[in-house]
Amino acid sequence: MMRLGIDLGGTNTVVGLCTLDGVLMDKISAPTKTGDPDGLCAVMHDLCRDLCDKHNIPYSEIEQIGIGLPGTLVKATCTLTFGTNLGMSNVCFAHAFEPEFNCPVNIDNDANCAALGEFHGGAGRGTRNLLMVTLGTGVGGGIVLEGKLYTGREDIAGEIGHMVIVPNGAPCNCGRHGCLETYASATGLIRLAREAMEQCPDTCLHAMVQENGGKLTAKMVCDARDAGDALADRVFNDYCDYLACGLTNLINVFQPDAIVIGGGVAGYGEKLLMPLRERVHAQQFKIAPEGTPIVAATLGNDAGIIGAALL
Ligand SMILES: [Zn+2]
Same domain, 190 and 240: yes
Query: Looking at residue 98, which CATH number applies to its domain?
Result: 3.30.420.40
* pLDDT reported for residue 23: 94
Alpha helices in the chain (DSSP H): 37-54, 110-121, 180-184, 186-198, 205-211, 218-226, 230-254, 270-283, 302-309
Q: What range defines the domain where residue 74 resides?
A: 2-103
Burial of residue 116 (number of CB atoms within 10 Å: 0-12, 13-18, 19+):
buried
**Assigned domain for 142 exists:** yes
Q: For residue 171, give the DSSP letter.
A: B
**Assigned domain for 311 exists:** no
Q: How confident is the model at residue 84 (pLDDT cuts 50, 70, 90)?
A: confident
pLDDT exceeds 90 at position 10? no
What contacts 148, CB < 8 A, 6 or more positions away?
Answer: none
Please give the distance, rounded to the nearest whole angstrom, from the Cα atom of residue 164 to the centre of ligand 1.
Answer: 7
* pLDDT reported for residue 100: 95
Q: What is the spatial distance between Cα 174 and Cα 181, in angstroms, rounded to a whole number?
A: 10
Please give the distance, rounded to the nearest whole angstrom, from the Cα atom of residue 247 to the centre of ligand 1.
Answer: 16
Task: Please give the mean pLDDT across all residues of the chain.
Answer: 96
CA angle 166, 171, 175 (to 5 degrees): 105
Same domain, 162 and 213: yes
Give just the sign of the alpha carbon dihedral 55, 59, 65, 71: positive
Q: Which residues surround ligand 1, an ion (CB under 5 A)?
A: 162, 172, 174, 176, 179
Q: What is the spatial distance between Cα 123 and Cα 298, in angstroms, rounded to a whole number?
A: 6
Residue pair 252/205 in contact by the 8 Å Cβ criterion = no
Please give the distance, rounded to the nearest whole angstrom, from the Cα atom of residue 65 to the centre of ligand 1.
Answer: 31
Please give the distance, rounded to the nearest whole angstrom, from the Cα atom of residue 137 to the centre of ligand 1.
Answer: 13
| Cα distances (angstroms) measured from residue 306 to each of 21, 120, 189, 255, 310 | 9, 8, 29, 25, 6
Please give the distance, rounded to the nearest whole angstrom, from the Cα atom of residue 169 to the centre of ligand 1.
Answer: 11
Please give the distance, rounded to the nearest whole angstrom, from the Cα atom of residue 174 to the centre of ligand 1.
Answer: 4
**Could you tell me whether strands 139-145 and 148-149 are parallel, antiparallel, or unpaired per DSSP bridges?**
antiparallel
pLDDT exceeds 80 at position 302? yes
Tell me the per-residue pLDDT of 133-191, one tens digit each, with 9 for 90 and over: 999 989 999 999 999 999 999 998 999 999 999 999 999 989 999 999 999 999 999 99
**Assigned domain for 306 exists:** no
Same domain, 60 and 162: no
Please give the distance, rounded to the nearest whole angstrom, from the Cα atom of residue 254 to the centre of ligand 1.
Answer: 20
ipTM attached to this prediction: 0.99
Same domain, 180 and 148: yes
Q: How confident is the model at residue 288 (pLDDT cuts 50, 70, 90)?
A: confident
Same domain, 89 and 188: no
Same domain, 68 and 141: no
Same domain, 136 and 94: no
Same domain, 97 and 139: no
State mean pLDDT over 93-121: 96
Same domain, 90 and 180: no
Please give the distance, rounded to the nearest whole angstrom, from the Cα atom of residue 246 to the centre of ligand 1.
Answer: 13
